[in-house]
A and B are shown apart, each in its own frame.
Chain A
Amino acid sequence: MSALLSCDGLVSGYLNRPVLHGVSLTVAHKGVLALIGPNGHGKTTLLRTLSGFLRMREGQMSFDGQDAGGWSVHERVRAGMIHVPQGDQLFAEMTVEENLLMGSYLCTDRVEVARRLDDVFALFPKLKERRDQVASSLSGGERRMVGIGRGLMADARLLMLDEPSLGLAPLVIEQIYAALGELRSRGMAFLVIEENPSRLLDFADGLCLMDAGHIVWSGNTDEAKTSGDILKTYLGGH
């Protein structure tokens, strides 16, 4: 199976301080890769590098067989690499529907946009009820749904989610992951970041553990379940 996203020896960071020291990972077509690790060890930096906000200083990166290292943010979005940022970053004073329509900004075909909007409303029926509500008045779970829905509107081929369970109640996390599972069964590829791997053991195919800007362990989820020691060492018992 060929890789959808692969990067090799990726180095990046802020100003003169590198945060990532040679990260390599691969997401297969229709695959789900989970990246876990404690706070402040470069997970978000990796996503910001992949989505083009941070310059890659060294290393290589390809998306769907094309060298993507030099692409701008715009070109990556156009290719279907969609980054759903931490804390949603919604357009606070726009309605739910306007937020979702911003997701499909690059698509100028009205019929196609309407079809995608229906898709998102089918996945998150709650958003349909709230479509005319201003985003800043939504609950945490609804905001997360808008954030993910907005990513879907862009016709994502790879959804890169930064802590989709952050700050949500357990029941709401269930709902979000149920929706993600539905997308997965339709063939969407994911790169998911979480601090806590417990949700991901059933959702992901592969798991990477990140520590201080390095990937210190990687394997499939079965291996992760059996070799629990590594996860415990880094993340505490579960």
Chain B
Amino acid sequence: MDVLSQILITGLTLGSMYALASVGLSLIYGTLGMFNMAHGLFMTIGAYASYSVAMAFGIPLIVGILVAMATGALIGMLTHLLMVRFMLGTADFGTNILVATAGLGILLEDLVLKVYGGYPYPQPLKVEGVTRIGNVTVTYQALVVLAVALVLILGVAFLLLRTRFGRAIRATAMNRESAMLMGVKADTVFLQVMALAGMLAGVAGLMISTQATLSPQMGGDPLLKAFVICVVAGLGNVWGAGLCAFGLALIEAAIGYYFGVRFGFPAMLMLVILVLVWRPQGLFGRETVVRL
């Protein structure tokens, strides 16, 4: 029983961070049809921005979260306005943007390295202390991570499913030309999606840095895992990505407990290979059927 709750708590905390990272990645892929290789750096910059503001002004965690959100959204919007916008609709967009965002990621990582140095800092923005659930020790910060992820993901779900704004995003993702025929400005939708995904990435970065440390490379591992999650869920399937984030995190936590933490990620990669052999379109992906 204690083992189970330990695995559950570790898995849910991990899953919250993965979900924040992969929901945004999936949203971008679904709407713009691009892999955002710079997504990991959106996380890193979100974490560093809130670190800097915290060091300068000693803000509470809640303000730190807002800073991370704002920074992430800003960097997402800038990426769209300065780069993606000019490449959309050109030949081989999918491949070119992959390379371009990977380049942006390297550039941003070097900038972070230049400004902050390579020394890993502890994140000052976190809640100290522990509580016990049954016989299992849980840090307050883990509960904060879980709560923040739940609030944000439910918020995004509400936005996408229940508002006119979200309906336009979904319509653009399903059929860009049709959405434009309804009067939707696709360019504005793309900008909003980049802002939304960047915002989630910024918070993900802050949350990850509270569980580990700040370093210029901190975004690499979560980016890889977010990609794995998006592929397993089915590319561009936002709900699937949210669910798979928690599912895979629980599996990773279980394997980490029974076999050792170093087997967690390899096991995830094995699982991806199996899923892709068995269901190439992903667990929640649909085979595309073309009808007249």
Contacts and interface: CB of A to CB of B under 8 A. Distances in A.
Contact of A53 (B177, B179, B292): B177
Contacts of B185: 74
Interface in A123-171: 136, 140, 150, 154, 166-167
Given A105-B164, A166-B292, A85 B178 contact: yes
B178 A94 contact: no
Nearest to A75: B183
Interface stretch (B98-106, B123-131, B167-175): B167-175
Given A87-B292, A92-B174, A167-B292, A102 B167 contact: yes
A91 B183 contact: no
Contacts of A154: 182-183
Given A85-B178, A89-B177, A90-B178, A74 B183 contact: yes
A49 interface: no
A73 B187 CA distance: 12
A87 B164 CA distance: 25
A108 B164 CA distance: 9
Contacts of B164: 101, 105, 108
A205 interface: no
A53 B174 CA distance: 18
A150 B174 contact: no
Contacts of A82: 181
A90 B182 CA distance: 11
Interface in A60-99: 73-74, 77-78, 82-83, 85, 87, 89-94, 98
Nearest to B179: A102
A108 B292 CA distance: 32
B174 A105 contact: no
A12 interface: no
B180 interface: yes
Main secondary structure of the interface of A (DSSP, over half): loop
A127 B177 CA distance: 23
Nearest to A166: B292
B292 A93 contact: no
Interface string B3-15: 0000000000000
Main secondary structure of the interface of B (DSSP, over half): helix
A105 B170 contact: no
Contact of B180 (A74, A90, A136): A74
A85 B177 contact: yes
A51 interface: yes
Interface residues of A, number: 29
Contacts of A166: 292
A83 B181 contact: yes
A77 B182 contact: yes
A231 to B, nearest CB: 25
A101 B181 contact: no
A101 to B, nearest CB: 7
B184 interface: yes
Interface in B174-223: 174-175, 177-185
A51 B289 CA distance: 27
Contacts of B291: 87
Contacts of B167: 94, 98, 101-102, 105
* Candidate in A85, A102, A108 with the most chain B CB atoms within 10 angstroms: A102
B170 to A, nearest CB: 7
A167 B181 CA distance: 22
A92 B286 CA distance: 12
Nearest to A101: B167
A179 B36 CA distance: 46
A73 B292 contact: no
Interface in B130-188: 164, 167-168, 170-171, 174-175, 177-185
Nearest to A93: B174
Contacts of B181: 51, 73, 77, 82-83, 85, 89
Contacts of A53: 177, 180
A197 interface: no
A89 B171 contact: no
Nearest to A143: B291
Nearest to A78: B183
Given A82-B181, A166-B292, 5 more contacts: A77-B183, A85-B181, A89-B181, A94-B170, A94-B171
Interface of B: 164, 167-168, 170-171, 174-175, 177-185, 289, 291-292
8 contacts: A74-B184, A87-B292, A91-B174, A91-B175, A93-B174, A94-B167, A102-B167, A136-B289
Counting from the closest, the 4 A-B pairs by CB-CB distance are A77-B183, A106-B183, A89-B178, A91-B174
